[in-house]
Amino acid sequence: MTQTTEAPAADRAGHVAGSVRTPPARTTSTFARALNAALADAMEADPAVLMFGEDVGTLGGVFRITDGLTARFGEERCFDTPLAEAGIMGMAVGMAMNGMKPVVEMQFDAFAYPAFEQVVSHVAKMPNRTRGKVRLPIVIRIPYAGGIGGVEHHCDSSEAYYAHTPGLTVLAPATVHDAYLMLREAIASPDPVVFLEPKKLYWSKEEVDLAELRRTFDDGEAPRRIGRAVVARQGTDATLISYGPSVPTALAAAAAAAEEGRSIEVIDLRSIVPFDDETVCESVRRTGRAVVVAEAPGFASVASEIVARVQERCFHSLAAPVLRVTGFDIPYPSPKLEHFYLPSVDRILDAVDDLQWED
């Protein structure tokens, strides 16, 4: 089975093998640990929820996101599958049609392509095909994008394929808080969700009370995140629009721009489909300038769609064309070259400088 050269997420998160524990209040949690807690809490709350995929059982997944779930819930609720992504997805469709709520892991983004026909032809279309009589509450977890030095087929930015497919919800969290709450919301959704987990953020850390997040979600107090973007940093001069793995880079660029005297707002989309036009356009209308930041190639991309939506809705408020900082239109590069490919603070600042400033 494919292994990663990164240290196990479970070790960095402080997990104990074979256990799933609720951390104490206001502890430091990793993105990976938040996902693990979300899965455990969803499975505890609803016996119809089950988790399966390649190596997600005893091993706990390549990134240890499912660590301890088999020990806690048994092999009937969290189990390994053969190396057959199309089969994994086909089984999930059958289970969902019969009242279960499967959560499946594709292990790596580029491993998901053999399952793509199932996703497009059945997962996305079944409710429409049956006039809403058959719903498919499936969550497709995809470790996603670059930044970990992965070899070929282990890093890709495939969000445009899913976003272009009507019938799918497509999410890409960028914070520990959102990792927990958005995965819980995805599992609770009656519709299929593609849940993109930025691999390079698995070991990012925040001070967070996961028990309190669980309480707010279970009590219905947590604000809705599907279809809702958030202002990650306030600013007045220009807006950076990003999602998933590019959000920390956009925030770093905004901090660097502040040292040069420019106030840059950062929007974390969180939800690619459905898209929050209101939050994005309200920001751009105030600042008058915008740059979209994403790791995927720029041609026919989610970034292209964002640019089009902003230009159409904010045209009379724009002081300059909306620009993009994206990956290049090439196959994903080898590990030693990926730092040239990924959007960087310098590339973002260069784009900001090109926004036709009068000074």
Active site (catalytic) residues:
154
Helices in the chain by DSSP H: which ranges?
Answer: 9-13, 31-45, 69-73, 85-97, 116-118, 126-129, 159-163, 176-188, 210-218, 247-259, 277-287, 302-314, 338-341, 345-353
Q: Within 13 Å, how many C-alpha atoms sit on residue 235's CB side?
A: 27
According to DSSP, the residues that pair with 27 across neighbouring strands are 208
Measure the CA–CA gap between 1 and 90, rounded to whole angstroms.
21
The dihedrals phi and psi of 16, each to the nearest 5 degrees, come to: -105, 130
Measure the CA–CA gap between 45 and 131, rounded to whole angstroms.
29
3-state DSSP call for residue 324?
Answer: strand
